[in-house]
Amino acid sequence: MNKRIYLCLAHMSGNEQKFIQEAFDTNWVVPLGPNVNGFEQDLKEFAGQDREVVALSAGTAAVHLALLACGVGPGDEVLVQSFTFCASSHPITYLGATPVFVDSEEDTWNMDPVLLEEAIKDRIAKTGKKPKAIVPVYLYGMPAKLEEIMAVAAKYDIPVVEDAAEGLGSKYDGQVCGTFGKYGVLSFNGNKMITTSGGGALICADAEAKKEIMFYATQARENYPYYQHEKIGYNYRMSNICAGIGRGQMTVLEEHINHHKHTYELYKELLADVKGVTLHGNPSDRYDSNFWLNTVTLDPTLRVVGEENAYKEAVAGAVGGAAGVTHEAKSLHTDCEPNANVEAMRMALDAAGIESRPLWKPMHKQPVYANAPAYVNGVSEALFKVGLCLPSGPCVTDEDIVYIVEQLKAAIL
């Protein structure tokens, strides 16, 4: 095979050009317009539950504005899942608040509800006040234990901001993820279920909440015949051009979701007899993951070709394609990294033209958060050491998956 198979790349529907051309023809090339309104309406209908949606420049912007709307500010604390990408936690620090990291449970790999309540009790005892918000994440599309998390949140009257950036189309008990909490975050980055080339959205409880989010997303301007600012605002609105791409993508959203679920079923079938490799799936019928990325864990005793060369050379560039703007690695190792057999498998697949990737490194193990409070049970650290993400996107064919599994098996000694 001479092509490279990527984890998850956007795939156009063919309808995007129509909406983009309309934007140019009508001169709507600013951060508002018919495509923005139409895209928000499409997302609103998809989400259901009588929710409202604001289209924004990024999923990170959506997290930021949701926390702002929850009243988060300097000196506050926010409970956030540790096993996630940094976009879940960085906006907390933008607001001068402190992230308090909560570890995962083994079934969904998401926020542990028992540990969550322990953290709330301990933060109240230590600081004298409740955390301002709870941010669970739907890792790789897998819904969290929402019944338990929402019950804890209700018990202590703490708003929930669902980070559903990876979970567009995932459901829990038949309800769309992102519609359980006060706010739900979506992402349309180039590697997500659908893309606007960049961008995100915030699912809001009602029209009043949407109005407030839009106020802050458009530089917080007051009603005067000149620019009057009484609050700090942000330039976070999605452009009409990007929204046009989103409208085209919405026509294939269900197709993309079905494709990702199909890739899971095929991986499940092909990996069923591969000892030492475990595919992560829905814990029960209550969970309906979109399987944004299919993930496997490798048994620590599994031997893989090239283990002796793992971490011998620094990687050029950064995971995720940071376009050459990374700092040079200070060492070949960190104090928390995937096992040698996982790194060897990543290298073997890479040599075969297959992109794979370690799981998210827990935030409580990131140097930038060394001083942040963390309530851990070892689950996310253990998973990070043994886990690997496999290609799952719309451009990944059945033949690709057969090839991927063949190469994975060939790398096992």
DSSP per position, 12-67 = --S-HHHHHHHHHHTT--BSBSHHHHHHHHHHHHHH-TT-EEEEESBHHHHHHHHH
pLDDT for res 26? 84
d(CA 105, CA 137): 12
Token pair, residue 35, equals 């495509």
Contact criterion met (CB below 8 Å) for 32 and 241: no
CB-based burial, 201-226: b 16+ in 10 Å, e otherwise: bbbbbeeebbeebbbbbeeeeeeeee
d(CA 302, CA 276): 6
Per-residue pLDDT of the chain (413 residues; tens, 9 = 90+): 678 999 988 788 888 888 888 878 888 777 778 999 999 999 999 999 899 999 999 999 999 999 999 999 999 999 999 999 999 999 999 999 999 999 999 999 999 999 999 999 999 999 999 999 999 999 999 999 999 999 999 999 999 999 999 999 999 999 999 999 999 999 999 899 999 988 999 999 999 999 999 999 999 999 999 999 999 999 999 999 999 999 999 999 999 999 999 999 999 999 999 999 999 999 999 999 999 999 999 999 999 999 999 998 877 666 665 555 777 777 788 999 999 999 999 999 999 999 999 999 999 999 999 999 999 999 999 999 999 999 999 999 999 999 999 999 999 99
Angle subtended at Cα 358 by Cα 353 and Cα 364, rounded to the nearest 5 degrees: 160
pLDDT for res 81? 98
Q: Which of 96, 133, 141, 99 is nearest to 281 (CA)?
A: 141
Token pair, residue 77, equals 């604390």
**Per-position DSSP letters for 345-370, written without gaps between them:** HHHHHHHTTB--EEPPPPGGGSGGGT
**Span 16-251: which CATH code?**
3.40.640.10
Alpha helices in 280-369 (DSSP H): 340-351
d(CA 354, CA 405): 10
Per DSSP, 155 falls in state H
d(CA 339, CA 29): 48
For 127, other C-beta atoms within 10 Å of its C-beta total 15
CATH of 254-410 among 3.40.50.11240, 3.40.47.10, 3.90.1150.10, 3.30.499.10? 3.90.1150.10
β-bridge partners, 357: 389
What residue ranges do the domains of the chain occupy? 16-251, 254-410
